[in-house]
Amino acid sequence: MGDSPAEARYEAAWTGLVQRCAQRDEQALATLYDQSSQLVYTIALRILGNEADSSEVVVDVYRQVWQAALQFDESRGSAAAWLAILARSRAMDRRRSRTARLRIEVPAEGTLQAVLDGPSPEDMAAATQTSGQVLRALAAVPWEQRQAVELAFFSGLTHAEIAEKLGQPLGTVKTRIRLGVVKLRDLLRGSI
């Protein structure tokens, strides 16, 4: 994948900002937030379908960035990928918590509709250059793997929910997600 000099500088800047956060540089955290919070919010909103919850996830992610910046390992992936993983993880935690509360308060159909009414990842991902690179790389992943990865990361479904939705064995779904993530990592390595 070709990477423009501007995109390479942008990713290098995020990596540098995370490294400065590890040194407790508050201005670095503020700059990283300004440059990357739209990506984090997009992921959270797609999974949660709720602006207030998504905004809280953004706060949680940057709190975690501040606390765990020393654990960031550039050799394992880009800063953008790390932020995306943190966003997905925090959003899924919130979704599970909210789903447990809503089971008592609201029928499941209301929860599903809230997720379905959220903006598409394509609409929101246009906000950053990194998102475009991820989408281009995702298009290069074989269809079965891409479908499973998209359901897991963009729709926030569990492996069991994906297996049920696709009518596939759970082991097959897990293998497709693992292979798809490995392929994505290989495609994105050094490009974002």
* 27 pLDDT above the threshold of 60: yes
Distances (CA, A) of 118 to 45, 46, 79, 184: 7, 6, 26, 25
Q: How far apart are CA 159 and CA 163, in angstroms?
A: 6
pTM above 0.95, yes or no: no
Domains of the chain: 5-188 (1.10.1740.10)
Band (1; pLDDT cuts 50, 70, 90): very low
Band (103; pLDDT cuts 50, 70, 90): low
Mean pLDDT of 8-19: 83
Residue 100 CB partners (closer than 8 Å, separation 6+): none
* 97 pLDDT above the threshold of 50: yes
Q: Which residue is it, tokens 């654990």?
A: 71
pLDDT at 88: 92
* 109 pLDDT above the threshold of 60: no
Q: How many CB atoms lie within 10 A of CB 26?
A: 10
